Each structure stands twice: as structure tokens, then as C-alpha cells.
Structure 1
Amino acid sequence: MNYEIIDCIDSGTEFCPCKLAEANECILCSQMCGKKFCDCMNWKGTCIYQEFYNNGNKAKEGRKAFDCSIKEVTKLQEDLIKIRFSVPHKLALDLTPPGSYVFLRTDDNVYFDVPISIAYSDTDADEITVLIEIRGIKTKKLTELKEGDILGVRGPYWNGVFGLKNIQNAKNGNCVVIARGIGMAPMLPVIKRLINNGNSLRLIIDKSPYEEIYVKEYLDEYNLTYEEIPVLNNKGELSEEIKAVIKEEYDGKEISLIHCAGADILTYRMIEFTNSLDTNLKISCCNNAKMCCGEGICGSCTARFKGRKVKRLCKVQTDPRNIFEGRRFI
């Protein structure tokens, strides 16, 4: 029997209970969904209902916005920039886990905030580095920034990666990390965690559509080598080269984890392919949901699944197969 184990990324943190609980829409707590009995879907060590009661029957204070000084703005190519900015020490610590991201303020209107994954958090210098792909009106505004400017930063947020438990549970094993395009940036915290867990890594990078691999300095810091292999062909299918890599690793030794850092089509095709080998292969991937508020309220991130289920992808943490299988594309 397949039972979907879901989690809320904020459960058990200083931001729980949130506005969803206040509206009887909590992801985990049955009583905060208007029911009369206790039937938590995933116990995190604290009672959400009790926390809500102790807080005067209202949500905890949400994320704060910080005014951060920009230390460096580098134009890597026409549609890609790197920004390094200072942050409070606690925020630097909070943004070290895989899947961490922040909202960057591009206008006085908070609805124009843009979610950006963390590439590197330097907890000694209290600095954050992000790589930003220039794709639309929001990100174009960021190209106007320069060293010394003040940047509005809202965070921390942590649900930038699906399958976090698979990453945390991968220890002293063999992992394959596959990155394509801008996915090179959010893969770095994942790599750091896997290395800290004693894993050996085989790193595959497809720099397309970029001219260079712009994270080499961080890979050197981790003493990592990588292979440049195209991962998708012009039909949107997995390339034969990447299929050969997965088969080689699967036939040679047990794979603890395959991490896909790229567009949804890469993860979808990888799930299809790995299911043909072994449905128990552990996978993690980037969360590419369209986000606006980051708190599950606005509905920008929601996706609909079989059985009339709706998941708030900025909050729900689950296995990638539960995101890409049974999803309704309408």
C-alpha cells in the first residue's frame, strides 16, 4: 500500500502556527482544519494546536524583511547576474540548509518581491550569494542594483527543494547530482549537506543555456570534480548519455540518492526513467512552483492532483514522485 507522507516545512519552527492554521487550513493538524479530534499527519515534536492556543489563538509572527547592504553585483552574461549581500547573523545561519530561499524586494509594492534560491551562505562573513536568471519584469529590476545599494530581503524560507528527507537520510552512500542551467545555484547547499553526511558524489552538469559553469569556485572549495554531459535532448527527453550514467551507477553500486537541479521536465523524465529501473530509488529535486507570498495564502503555488487534492507547494514537503505523479495538468 502506498501512503503519501507529507510534511509542512514550517512545522515545529518559530513560524508555526501560521496564517493557514488561523484559517483552519493547516497542512498537518486535524484540529486546525476544523475537526474535533487529534490526528496529526506528521508529528514534529510540538503540538500545533497547543502552540496556537498558547499564542492567544492567533498565528505566530511571520517572516521579517531586512535591509541588506550589497557587497557585489557581477554581470556573468546578458541574462545572468550574481549578487552578494550582507545579512544578520541569524539569517545567514537559517539559510544554510538545502532548499533555502528568500524574497528579494524590487519595488515598494510587496507583491513584486521575487523568490530566489540561496547559492551560498557564508556564516563567518554573514553574507549571502545568489545567482539570478533575468527572465521577466521582476528580475530585470535587479539588474539596476549596484555595490553599496540597500536590498530588501524577506526570509528565511526553506521549501526550495522537494525530497529533503531523502537528502538528510542519504549517509555514507553514493549519490548522483545532476544540474542544468540555473539549477547549478541551488544544488550547492545540497552538495554541501551530502558531503557532510559522508557521501561520495558523482556530479553531472549541463551548463546549457549558459556559456560557462559559474559555480566552479564553490566546487573547488568542496574539492569536487564534475562531468559536462547534456541531460536533455531537443525533444525534451533524457539524453542517452545521462541514461548511461544512471545505468552505470545503478548496476555498479547502490545509489543512495539522485538529485535533479533543473526544470520540472528534467525531474519528470528522471522519475519516468528511474521507475523503469527501481521505483525505490530515492530522488530529490528543485521546487519550481510559482510563488508570491511564500506562506500558502495567495494560491500562486497551488497544484491540483487526482482525488481533487490541492497542495500548497510553498509549504508542503514531500517526495518528488508525489508531486509529479497524479498531478493534473490543465
Structure 2
Amino acid sequence: MSYEPYDCIDVGSEFCPCHLAETGDCILCSQLAGKDFCDCCNFNGVCIYQEYVSNNFKAKEGRKYYHCKILEKNKLEDNVIILTVGASDKLVSELVYAGSYIFARRPDTETRFDTPISILDTDTRNNTITIAIEIKGTKTKALDLLKLGEELLVKGPFWNGTLGLKNIYKVKNSICLIVARGIGQAPMIPVLKYLHANNNENIVVLDNSPYKNSFVSEYLEKYASKVIQCNTIENGRVTDEFNNILNDLISNNNISLVHCDAADVLNYELMKVVEDMDKNIKYSCCNNAKMCCGEGVCGCCTRINNDLKLRRLCKMQTEPKYVLEGRRIF
């Protein structure tokens, strides 16, 4: 595998240096990763070691919990709910970026009920956050018990919900292809809004499976120039229908970026198809790492591929291929 340019999503923020610096596991700083010399893999204009020294050789204070009142609750299907909650202007403004997510739980539950949930939308005028929750297990079933007017305990902001963010930030005045399946429609919206704000034409391929209908139609009307609905994947492979659509779109449009919000099996298969068709097209996708703390401490997000490199995916920002290639995803 080629050289991997990577970054830490928190570098230069109020949360850096984090607890990884205290244990010699910093993602970027060589001296805070156990080495005796300065050899930053990707200098961002901020010396993490100097920040650590200035903070009395301690980690900065981590994310805080916020009590957010539920302003709207809509149950779209048997296992999908949309919550809109009121939050502080600071928290809302920090969650406007593509890849933003939070940890949420009921105030009467323990921290082990913290659930990572992608941001669907933010409203900085009214200071609200909107999230879509797929009811699947104990944590999300506990959230479904919350009623209108009650409080949701929110921890944030977190930002590494998307891999390949640099590709999204760079594209302007171009044509972009966005693919989303199931609950992946939620993290697609901030990406769609950002690309639209940079004068990009957005073509969306939407797979509602396993739902009957889309829950983001109003956003697609605003930010997408074209929406194509189809079944994207079957038995772990891109369907012939979707493959033909991709061939047509890539052949007849000068597409600069393909972005996918789906399970890793589709993220990976789509990435391979796009590479085979045109290696100049940039690629990004949602980050489906299993997250528990969001700070790289618990180890749930760590992944080691064939290159034997440890990646803490709740913090490490990299190209999707370095995460998806060389691992078993079926």
C-alpha cells in the first residue's frame, strides 16, 4: 500500500492535546508517541508538544455533556425516529461540518448508554440540532422512550464521521455524485449542503432499503440537481442496475467527487468500481468505525489492516482506501 497522508481531526482544537498524549499514543506528534525527536508526520501549524507543555503536561479538558430539550419527535417508520433538540449556540455552530456527530443518551441512564449518532441538520438561527435514529438495540430503544419536552443528554462536538474530508473541502464548481443507503441518508445531508454551498452540482443516487421511503426528501429538493432511486447492492456486490447507472453518469459527466454514505461493504465496492472507471475521481465515505468514547481511549474504534498499522478511527482522518482495503468486511 502507498504512503498514507493522515491527520487528527482534533489537532489545533480546544481538545488537543488529548489523553492519548499522556500515554504516548498521540496520532501526530512523534514526541508524544514515544520518540525522542521531533518528526511530525503532518504539521498543521500548531505544535502539539508545546501545547502539552503549556498545559502542565496534561491533556486538555474533553467534551462536555449538554442537556438538550426535545422540540420535535417524529416516528417515520417502525424503527426510525427524527429528533430535533434545542442546544447552545456554541454546540450548534460546532456541528455544522460534514462528518459531525454526537453521543446521546437519556439523562437517567449510565454513560455506557452513550450512542454515537450522525448529525442530519443544524439550524444556527434557532439553535437546534436534528438527528435520525434507527431503533435497533438497547441503546437506541432507550432513546425511543424519550417524549416531546423531555431532555436528551448530548456529548459533543465530534467530527470524524466522514473519511476523505479533504476531498469534500477541495471540490468547487464541479459535478459530484452522492450515494446513500438506509440510515446513511442522515450523514449525507451535511455533505450535500456543503457541496451545494461551494457551487457544485449534486447528483444523488438513493437506496431507501430497508425503508419504504426516504426521510430526507425536503433536503434533496433544495440541494440536489438530480435524484436517482435504485437498489445499490445485493449479496455483497454492486447491482447491475446501479453499475449501469454509474457507467452512464461517469461517462457523460465530468464528475470530480463520489461520496458514499452506507455500510462499509457498499463503501468499498463503490470505491473499487469508481477506481476502475476513472482513477482521477476523488472519493469519500462515511466512517463506520465502532465508537464507544470518541476519544481514542476505549479502543473500540481501532483497526489493524494488512499493513499492521493501528488506526484510531474516531480521531484519525484519512483516505477511505487506507481503511477499507486489506480488511475483512463481510
Band the TM-score falls in, shorter-chain normalisation: over 0.9
User: How far off is 1:279 after superposition?
Assistant: 3.3
- Residue 149 in 1 paired to residue 175 in 2? no
Q: CA deviation at 1:198?
A: 1.4
Number of residue equivalences: 329
More off after superposition, 177-186 vs 105-114? 105-114
Which piece of structure 1 moves more, 281-290 or 104-113?
104-113
In 2, Cα distance between equivalents of 1:189 and 1:82: 16
**Distance across 2 between alignment mates of 1:279 and 1:16:** 35
Q: Does 1:12 align with 2:12?
A: yes
Does the 8 Å CA contact 1:304/1:328 hold for their aligned counterparts?
Answer: no
In structure 2, the partner of 1:94 is: 94
The two structures have a TM-score, normalised by structure 2, of 0.96
Residue 258 of structure 1 aligns to a residue whose secondary structure is strand
Match of 1:35 in 2: 35
**What's 2:249 paired with?**
249
Counterpart residue type for residue 119 of structure 2: I
Q: What is the letter of the counterpart of residue 216 of structure 2?
A: V
List alignment gaps of at least 5 residues for structure 1: none
Instruction: Give the partner amino acid of 1:77.
Output: E
| Aligned 8 A contact 1:111 1:293 in 2 | no
Tell whether the 8 Å contact from 1:306 to 1:328 is kept in structure 2 after alignment: no
- The match for 2:201 is 200
List aligned pairs for 1:41-60, cutoff 5 A.
Answer: 41-60=41-60
SS in 1 for 2:157: strand
User: What is the alpha-carbon distance in structure 1 between the residues aligned to residue 275 and residue 204 of structure 2?
Assistant: 21
Secondary structure of the structure 2 residue equivalent to 1:226 = strand
CA shift for structure 1 position 246: 2.0
Q: Work out the CA distance in 1 between the residues paired with 2:308 and 2:322.
A: 14
The answer as to 2:122 corresponding to 1:121 is yes
**What secondary structure does 1:83 align onto?**
strand
1:236-263 Cα distance to aligned partner (Å, 9 max, x none) = 2111222122222322233211011111
Q: Give the SS at the match of 2:36.
A: coil
| TM-score in terms of structure 1 length | 0.96
Equivalent pair of 2:17/2:59 in contact (CA under 8 Å): yes
CA RMSD of aligned residues (A): 1.5
Residue 278 of structure 1: how far off its partner (Å): 3.0
- 1:216 offset after TM fit, Å? 1.1
**CA displacement at 1:304 relative to structure 2:** 1.0
Amino acid at match of 1:10: D
The 4+ residue runs of structure 1 with deviation greater than 6 A are: none
CA distance in 1, matches of 2:243, 2:44: 38
Task: Name the SS of the counterpart of 1:221 in structure 2.
Answer: helix
Q: Deviations over 1:17-48 (max 9, x none)?
A: 00001111000010111211111111111100
Provide the residue aligned with 1:167 in structure 2: 168
Q: Structure 1 residues 126 and 310 mapped into 2: Cα distance closer, same or farther (>3 Å)?
A: same
Q: Percent identity?
A: 49
Question: Distance between the aligned counterparts of 2:103 and 2:200, measured in 1?
Answer: 31
Q: Which amino acid aligns with 1:304?
A: I
Distance change in 2, residues 1:262/1:54 (3 Å) = same
Counterpart CA distance in 2 for 1:129 and 1:101 is 11
Deviation at 1:223? 6.0
Q: Matches of 2:125 and 2:91 in 1, distance apart?
A: 12
